[in-house]
Chain A
């Protein structure tokens, strides 16, 4: 069942590594985002020893884990932002004419290896911080980190999918949905405790950015959880991911229904 996607993926990988020179530049370019993020945190923490209960090290960990999650989601699901182009040109119908579900086809249509640069940079940063931050490394702790990255990626992937689904209705909606997705990513970098009430609710329950890295890090470092939440809240990321995906898939199905209902 997975075979078709593997073949397609192999084909695209081959096509991309064919261009060596610009590949290197692209990797370099994608690392730029990591560097910017680290600098941002640095200049913020140059003025205060802790923010929202996190030290610079902890904040860097939150940033790094969120960064890795986002880059993995972008690596596999990033092609979804090409959907408006397919819809406009009519090439989308080709997906409907094949005996495969549409969403995996769209996702698998391109695998941008160059986005790996961000994944590597983020992983290096995360490893460095984890090494120096003084955690007692139990299997549970390691498991939490792995789970966080996995579910964080799933959450961002769900956001990409929901944003793509919106494109079936909004003609030029790409930028608006991008604000939510990238806004969510940006919000995930900072401790959610600095956000005022409504914003915190938005980024915890509507766009579950807090579950991507902040809450898991609190649990991992045994820091006090936000008021009203249990100390093991960091283990609930899978629930947030499941919820995000449920909504994303419902939205996608509705979007497809809308497309076949109105025609192109």
Chain B
């Protein structure tokens, strides 16, 4: 029999939490988050200008930190989901470069900065996020690195290195922007796949990437694109967000064909990041081409794969895991 769990009556204060005055009547969680941010910035050896000077506490107001456009979102300190106002992301001109999550405990006057998402990281998550009106609901755990990550990025990066990305250009609509698989043969990788999903194109010497029993299936391999994936708690994440995960795996997408200039097949394979590791049980890959659907679920599996033999109809690929939002790729297209 399992030992009963004695519930925690108090919660540990998150590392690097900032304590504010309990005497001050704070007008809102955002006002507390702004005050905590200013407190940290004031202690930095290098001046990092933050604006606006006034009205930074106004809900929805975009902040500017060392020339970076910063969206600040708040939640309760024990929250597992954070609401993000999606309106600024509708247009490139208003889209933030960074999204900072502050978890605020109003009862104890404590602010913990969960971490930061860059524009591409946010857009990758926004695809499958639950939506409530203009609010997107993201798992609190997807914000990584605490305030230190924010300080690192705004001090080291050039603002131009983080372009403003909007849903219209690269976000939600990216799901309908078709990715042409034939482009992979020339080393071209669709911008959305690269920036939003962290996909990496790799030159492929035919069959050299694979070993063992997988080799036969890919003797006609023409190009390989890989998306790093991970489980952050129960949440599926991709690209850079996957790098810090303990459970990491890769989606390999291999264009295949007998004609070196014309792919006529696609292999979708999930493998663990570490050779020989098992994939997380319950991880599902689903791909649909027209009315033909293939689905595989990991169950003590080192790899799972789906093979498509051609056809010009779009191939819709999604990944799911119990408790996580689905990760949906843009449609892939083989030459007709």
Are chains A and B native binding partners rather than an unrelated pairing? no
Residues in chain B within 8 A of chain A (CB atoms): none
Residues in chain A within 8 A of chain B (CB atoms): none
